Chain A
């Protein structure tokens, strides 16, 4: 996925974050999901303005993780979110 991509959360998704972990509810798919800490950090940064490159930089600044590993995880995670209809 192109790192200049800007994603937006689905307007149908209700979400709430507790202690760094997000719960996402998507009624159209009758689905409730929980994100882990890094997934939640990415989710919080998806705001319709930041590019994936900017989100990646934010994750690298916050977590002790290599760029290669973070990029792979970010792309896989964002693809999953798109497949689930949580972002567009």
Chain B
């Protein structure tokens, strides 16, 4: 313990191997997971062949297409967590956004108008979350649990009773181009436009987190809200902006999901919040706030997607809940234990 303290006093950013490991374990995890999943079916043909994990068109493309919502969300969610707040209603926001987008399309809205309107909805949802948490000063957990129920309820109410979701409306059916955004290959690259948008979102958020004032303020607020407030940072405005951003991104993810499924499913986002939380934890961001990395959360998201899809080839689908729960507990333990050692001062 003493050695570490002296190292920290001498060099603020110690490059001892311990710190390096703690900072980058998520990348190691990713490599490990990919390797394990790739060799699972060894002996059955080429490692890039059909039925294998690394098979491009059979598996990787599907995996990445499915990962679009969580990729889109995880960056904004991470920023919110860095500032010390959280939003449990993202799953329901995605559900509501999906259903709304499909409804708009069925009412003859074009792609861009429907997209813009859905994004506006997301902004409104995020605004409401921010309002309840910041202005009414209800704990984020309870506040977003409430909005989770409300948004989910609205999503379900928009669907006719008995229907699993919205695929058509009376005589009208969905336009044929609905798949273009979330499923169809973009310029023959194999991956849909939505995927590249998600990557762009992550890139933008990484820049925001590292280089912009917004990112620095988020860290400051998460580290010590009172100190940030006293330093002149308008914490309420900043965090409110972050909530709105999360709502916006949830709507974006919703459009991608609806487009991928060609279906307005009120359960589209069910459980998504758990996935995002696992991704953020794997990435090393703490829910106490004050530090975190958008990039690492994205890697965490990739890990959880790999595990979920990889496990589906080996285990039946009813193992999913158990595995995800175990991973969550594992991730949360890992991140807490690592922090314990970091915070020596």
Whether chain B is bound by chain A comes out as no
